[in-house]
A = this chain, B = another copy of it.
């Protein structure tokens, strides 16, 4: 589905008179990056000339104002280019807030009170599945163990899995070698792209399974290639290979389609979310039993605030969150949300992993620390979303917007 990605980012830097700055971005795969830049520029009046102190003290309010600007909302509503632009602005403010607090974002969030956290979320359109009171109860239930879980996170890291071995187009030899290397590096799960040819998928899964042995999980990812009936047939054919999950079997808007697939191929879990447009879509995927693994993305939705809603929804339905990462800087960013989730909400590593792709980390000021198959919690202040000035200077595209 994405045959020619040209990894790009629409990058936001919000500077202050105090000389500090918050950074964030929207990940894109090439053409259209300028469109995202134009959308971000349309939001400048919401931050330019404002008091940083006031903005940072009420990020729930900032998010609501951006989200409910009725003229900009018309362009979605709450989806696509404009929605992702709101996410970048909100996330740049979160980066600045975490830096000023002297904490990594995961810890900043994990040390907020349940009341402060729910104030960051808008429960409009969610109340048939999750109310403010539901959310408070979930957060309060997890509150007593926070300190203990922070210590565990720092001692054990957060489980990771790798997509590195499984790209389409690799030779069988390369697939086998990279699969073995993933196991040697301590990853408990690898992921293979599927959906181009059933025969190829069967052969590649056999090779991968032989390379990793029986104890390692193998997930597959169809990148939206199939219609509903096709997905069901294809996955029934792959079922004998002990599949950890099938990711994006069909169109990411198709709640009912995913639900039909999930029912038909049970117990193979359906995973999706990297193209989930907003919290209302995630609500429905959960209500319909259309996903068994919820994959948040850091730059697809409207920022940390909306992802808090997504994490709370997942917790309400008892569904594990395994963030999507890779691209440009997604690993650096989304680990913070997974770690917050562990400390303050889910309280468990069971069935939870953050995706890892070893790519482009060198452009970030605080690159991820992934070793022994684990993400190790960042200690540096901020959200992980600041790129090196030298990288920006080298790769900045002349903006004509």
Q: Is the CB of B251 within 8 A of A280?
A: yes
* Closest Cβ–Cβ distance, residue A237 to chain B (whole Å): 18
Task: Chain B residues near A284: list those with CB within 8 A.
Answer: 253-257
Q: A91 interface residue, CB < 8 Å from B?
A: no
| A221 at interface by CB-CB < 8 Å | no
Known: A127-B228, A128-B227. A32 touches B28 (CB 8 A): no
Query: Which of the four size classes fits the interface of chain A?
Result: 35 or more
CA distance A28 to B69 in the complex (A): 13
A253 and B79 CA atoms in complex are apart in Å by 10
Nearest B-chain residue to A257, judged by Cβ: B128
A71: chain B residues within 8 A (beta carbon): 4-6, 28-32
**A255 — which chain B residues lie within 8 A by C-beta?**
255-256, 284
Q: Which residues of B contact A81 (CB under 8 A)?
A: 35, 39, 75-76, 80-82
Given that A6-B71, A79-B76 are contacting pairs, would A31 and B42 also be in contact in the complex, using a CB cutoff of 8 Å? yes
Given contacts A80-B83, A251-B280, A255-B255, contact A75 B128 (CB under 8 A): no
| Chain B proximity of A352: nearest CB distance (Å) | 26
Contact between A251 and B125 (Cβ–Cβ < 8 Å)? yes
Tell whether A79 pairs with B82 under 8 Å between CB atoms, given A227-B127, A401-B38.
no
Among residues of B, the one whose C-beta sits closest to the C-beta of A27 is B74
Copies of this chain present in the complex amount to: 2
Q: Which of A50-109 contact B (CB under 8 A)?
A: 69-84
Within the complex, which residue of B1, B70, B228, B280 is in contact with A70, where a contact is CB–CB below 8 Å?
Answer: B1
Does A34 contact B29, Cβ atoms closer than 8 Å?
Answer: no
Q: B35 to A82, Cβ gap below 8 A? A: yes
Is B30 within 8 A of A257, CB to CB? no
Q: Which residues of B contact A281 (CB under 8 A)?
A: 253
Residue pair A125, B250 in contact (C-beta under 8 Å): yes
Do the beta carbons of B82 and A32 come within 8 Å of each other?
Answer: yes
A258 CB, nearest partner CB in chain B, Å: 10
Residues of B within 8 A of A256 (CB): 255, 284, 287-288
Contact of A28 among B31, B75, B126, B283 (CB under 8 A): B75
* Minimum CB–CB distance for A1 against chain B, Å: 6
A260 within 8 A of B: yes
Given the interface contacts A4-B70, A32-B75, does A125 sit within 8 Å of B257 by beta carbon? Answer: yes
Instruction: Name which residue of chain B comes closest to A40, CB basis.
Output: B35
A255 to B255 Cα, complex, angstroms: 9
Give 1 or 0 for each of A255-276: 1 = CB within 8 Å of chain B CB. Answer: 1110010000000000000010
The answer to whether B2 and A70 touch across the interface, beta carbons within 8 angstroms, is: yes
Q: How far is the CA of A30 from the CA of B283 in the complex (A)?
A: 30
Please state if A277 and B72 are interface contacts (CB–CB under 8 Å). no
Confirm or deny: A15 has a beta carbon within 8 angstroms of a beta carbon on chain B.
Answer: no
Q: Do A229 and B128 have beta carbons less than 8 Å apart?
A: yes
CA A77 to CA B71, docked complex, whole Å: 21
What is the bound-complex CA distance between A128 and B227, given in angstroms?
7
A-B contact pairs, 12 of them (CB 8 A): A5-B71, A29-B70, A30-B74, A32-B39, A35-B75, A35-B82, A39-B81, A75-B80, A79-B253, A127-B230, A128-B257, A400-B401
Nearest first, the 10 A-B pairs at minimum CB distance are A80-B80, A81-B81, A38-B38, A30-B71, A128-B228, A31-B71, A125-B251, A127-B227, A253-B280, A32-B75
- In the complex, given contacts A2-B74, A35-B35, A38-B39, what are 16 additional A-B residue pairs having Cβ atoms less than 8 angstroms apart? A2-B70, A4-B70, A5-B71, A31-B42, A31-B72, A34-B38, A34-B42, A38-B401, A76-B81, A79-B253, A125-B227, A128-B229, A253-B277, A253-B284, A255-B284, A256-B287
